Amino acid sequence: MRQQLLHGDLTERIIGVFFQVHWELGHGFLESIYANGMHCGLAEARLRVQREVPVSVHFRGRRIGMFRADMIVESVVLLEFKTGERLDPMAGAQLLNYLRATRIEVGLILHFGPRPAFKRFIQTNDRKIIP
């Protein structure tokens, strides 16, 4: 029996759009170009998309900073875009921290490199301290 992934159907649709964007654009562009392509593709797939979403980071109950999530789809999947020849291993830690700072539980790193690649991360809310 196949185990159901959290937001599996949605992430499958997002990954499909990712491969279409990579196939049509190839590699070598800036992240902003791929973000524009993903936005178009996801909108055409009739998915709600938010770009450059500001997220606060808290420590001991105080806001200590902010970051901008590259994209959030349907308010439940956080996307982080990466380019370059290789995916930096620190990208996973970055995305897990982004998930930890939000109520979003699923994140995807989409690497627009010479070979398209993605990594899926889950950080359930029961394992977070969210103000």
Per-residue pLDDT band at 119 (split at 50, 70, 90):
very high
The Cα 104–Cα 127 span in angstroms is 12
pLDDT at site 40: 97
Name the CATH architecture for the domain at 8-125. Answer: Alpha-Beta Complex (3.90)
Q: Hey, where are the domains in the chain?
A: 8-125
Tell me the per-residue pLDDT of 28-40, one tens digit each, with 9 for 90 and over: 999 999 999 999 9
pLDDT at site 125: 79
Tell me the per-residue pLDDT of 63-84, one tens digit each, with 9 for 90 and over: 899 999 999 999 999 999 999 9
| Average pLDDT value over all residues in the chain | 91
